[in-house]
Amino acid sequence: DGGITQSPKYLFRKEGQNVTLSCEQNLNHDAMYWYRQDPGQGLRLIYYSQIVNDFQKGDIAEGYSVSREKKESFPLTVTSAQKNPTAFYLCASSIGTGITGELFFGEGSRLTVL
């Protein structure tokens, strides 16, 4: 079945460590997104990518980095520069840009900083 796979589902990190969250899709979608979800704040956009080897900052990109070397993959690195990284992270994809496509979401990764 087609879909988006995020891993790991749960991750614990010590302060000062970088961690990378994986996001893979087999939907052949062009656009991919990373959102952060905190209680009562909805979803906030971290980074998005419309095509391979290109990505743009979202509203809260500081302390995060991404790469888009393959169409299927859009990993997110949470760096030690991120002041408050404990959150639920959601990866999504859509068919293209500037059109009517809805987002398809993965099941999320919950990061806890100890």
What is the contact surface with another protein in residues (CB under 8 A)?
4, 6, 31, 33, 35, 40-43, 45, 48, 50, 56, 58, 88, 90, 92, 97-98, 100, 102-108, 110
* Amino acid sitting at position 3: G
**Beta-ladder partners of 48:** 33, 56
* Residue 41 beta carbon to another protein: minimum distance, rounded to whole angstroms: 6
Q: How far is the CB of 46 from another protein (least distance, A)?
A: 12
Kind and range of the H or E run holding 25: strand 19-25
CB of 16 to another protein, least distance (A): 27
Q: Which is nearer to another protein, 37 or 73 (CB)?
A: 37
Number of neighbours of residue 104 by Cβ within 10 angstroms:
17
Q: Which residue bears the tokens 């749960």?
A: 10
